[in-house]
Amino acid sequence: MNKALGRKIRRYLPELINNILKLFVVLLFLFPFYWMFITSFKPYAETIQFPPTLWPKNFTLDAYKTIFSGMDLTNYIKNSVIVTATIIVLQTVVMIPAAYAFAKYEFFGKKLMFAMVLVAFMIPGQITFITVYIMMAKWKLLHTLLPQIIPFGANAFGIFLLRQNFLQVPEEIIEAARLDNTPEWKIMTHIMLPMCKSTMITIALFSFVSHWNAYFWPLVMTDSEKVRPLTIAIERLKDLEYGINWNTIMAGNVLLVLPILVALMFASKRIIQAFAYKGVK
């Protein structure tokens, strides 16, 4: 009897320890988000209490009331949504013909131009912002949302990814369509695109994540409250006149994080596959 138990323990114990350690790792990555949510529901006094409470003793929405009354939140959310949505639409319109040409046409200078696309992918905003800012100031656009949108018109990575996908579409299909006198734009939109739907969704997803979360670019490209996005507004919560209130700061971050967490909850498998694919290429 005892011997059997001992054998059982010896057999399952390593597995158990392994799993407990794994759960600890999970906790390490999820607990900060839990902490954000929990803090946002605490009153200020409870955030500066020792020891910190793992669940709010006095559950309150004060922090949310403060940010909703303290600033024009709808304006910031509206800006974030408009900027992100417009970028995705603009990139799609610019990207499809470019990727099609790079995949299915031979023309002089193609290699050079494609190399330029790849190089552009590696150049961050931290290099280009000075000149772009001067340009936007000269064009008198700094009081509009355009400086946050048009510099991202060409999505170098998207062009690359979509081209790879277009290359896989068999030449015969296109030839057949051409013999039927189908115009090129219709081949592009009615034959090629439906075959690359999942790549398109993947690219839009990357764009959404990177521009909804963007902080550096709007920080340097916005001169007035009217055009600032949510990220900048939330960063400003840090220097309100009455010192650091972690509960309001966390409430602001909940608003910023929520759309992405909801998306992840519903489509985690798909999203993770998309990012793994991006990494391999």
Partner 1 sequence: MNAPANRRRWRFRKESFLPYLMVAPAMAFLGLFTFYPMANLVYLSFFDYNLVNPVKKYVGLRNYQTMFFIRRDFMIALKNTAVYTLAVVACLITLSLLCALWFQKDTRLNRFAQTAMFTPHLIAMLSCAMIWSWIMDQNSYGLLNAVLELFKIPPLRWLNSSQTAMLSVVIVSVWKSIGYYALVIMSALKSIPVEIYEAAELDNTPKWRVFFRLTLPLLSPQLFFLLIVITINSFKVFDTIRVMTNGGPGSSTDVLAYYIYRYAFQHFKIGYASAAGTVLMVILMILTALYFAVLGRKVHYQ
Question: Which of 7, 8, 110, 186 contacts partner 1 by CB under 8 A?
Answer: 110
Question: Which of 77, 219, 240, 267 contacts partner 1 by CB under 8 A?
Answer: 219
Nearer CB in complex with partner 1: 7/22:
22
Q: Which stretch binds partner 1 (CB under 8 A): 5-13, 15-23, 71-79, 166-174?
A: 15-23
For residues 66 and 237, give the distance between their C-alpha atoms in angstroms, rounded to a whole number: 10
Site mask for partner 1 (CB under 8 A), range 112-141, x = bound? -x--xxxxx-xxx-xxxxxxxxxx------
Site for partner 1 in 50-69 (CB under 8 A): 50-52
Q: Which stretch binds partner 1 (CB under 8 A): 4-12, 165-173, 194-202, 245-253?
A: 245-253
For residues 199 and 157, give the distance between their C-alpha atoms in angstroms, rounded to a whole number: 12
Nearer CB in complex with partner 1: 50/242:
50
For residues 16 and 261, give the distance between their C-alpha atoms in angstroms, rounded to a whole number: 30
Site mask for partner 1 (CB under 8 A), range 31-50, x = bound? -xx-xx--x-------xxxx
CB 80 within 8 A of CB 213: no
Nearer CB in complex with partner 1: 9/23:
23
Site mask for partner 1 (CB under 8 A), range 139-178, x = bound? -----------xxxxx-x--x-------------------
By CB under 8 A, residue 201 contacts partner 1: no
For residues 59 and 145, give the distance between their C-alpha atoms in angstroms, rounded to a whole number: 38
Site for partner 1 in 70-99 (CB under 8 A): 93-95, 97-98
By CB under 8 A, residue 22 contacts partner 1: yes
For residue 97, whether the previous peptide bond is cis, meaning omega lies within 30 degrees of 0, is no
Q: Which stretch binds partner 1 (CB under 8 A): 5-13, 65-73, 165-173, 228-236?
A: 228-236
Nearer CB in complex with partner 1: 7/135:
135
Q: Which stretch binds partner 1 (CB under 8 A): 6-14, 59-67, 193-201, 208-216?
A: 208-216
Ramachandran quadrant class, 107 (left: phi over 0; alpha: psi -120 to 50; beta: rest): beta
